Amino acid sequence: MRICLKTASLGLLLALAPLPPASAQLALPTGDVNRGRSFALQACSVCHVVAPEQLVLRRIARQPSFSAIANAEGMNGMKLQAILTTPHPIMPNLILTPEEAANVIAYIMSLRGR
C-alpha cells in the first residue's frame, strides 16, 4: 500500500510538472527503470512492443506499444498502477508483485516524451 501511495503522488507530480526523461527517472525512486525494462521484455513483449528494437512485432502488434501508452494524454504512474492492478485484456491472470509493477511503471514512464 505504501508503494501505491508513493507511486500515486509521484504520478501526480509528473502530471503537474512534465520533466525530461532523465529527471523523470530520478523522480520515480520506487521503481527501477532497468529492471522494469528487462521484466517487461520477458513478461509483456509477447503482445506489446516494449522497446523500440522490437521491429518484427511492431509490424503486427495490435496492442498499444509501451511508448504509445507512456505518451497517451494524461498518462501517469497512478493510472498505470490502476491499469496493472485490474484484470488485463486477453490475459486476466497477469498479476504483478508490487515491486514488478513499480519497476514496469518506472520503465513505461521513462518512455514518456520520447
Nearest residue to ligand HEC, by Cβ distance, number only: 44
In sequence order, the 6+-apart residues with CB closer than 8 A to the CB of 30 are 3, 6, 7, 10, 102, 106
Our finding on whether 112 is near ligand HEC (CB under 6 A) is no
Question: Rounded to an integer, what distance in angstroms lies between the CA atom of residue 51 and that of residue 40?
Answer: 9
Our finding on whether 68 is near ligand HEC (CB under 6 A) is no
Which among 6-14, 22-30, 36-44, 52-60 is the span making contact with ligand HEC, rule CB under 6 A?
36-44
Question: Rounded to an integer, what distance in angstroms lies between the CA atom of residue 51 and that of residue 21?
Answer: 15
Which residues are near ligand HEC by CB under 6 A? 40, 43-44, 46-48, 63-64, 69, 80, 83-84, 88-91, 94, 96, 104
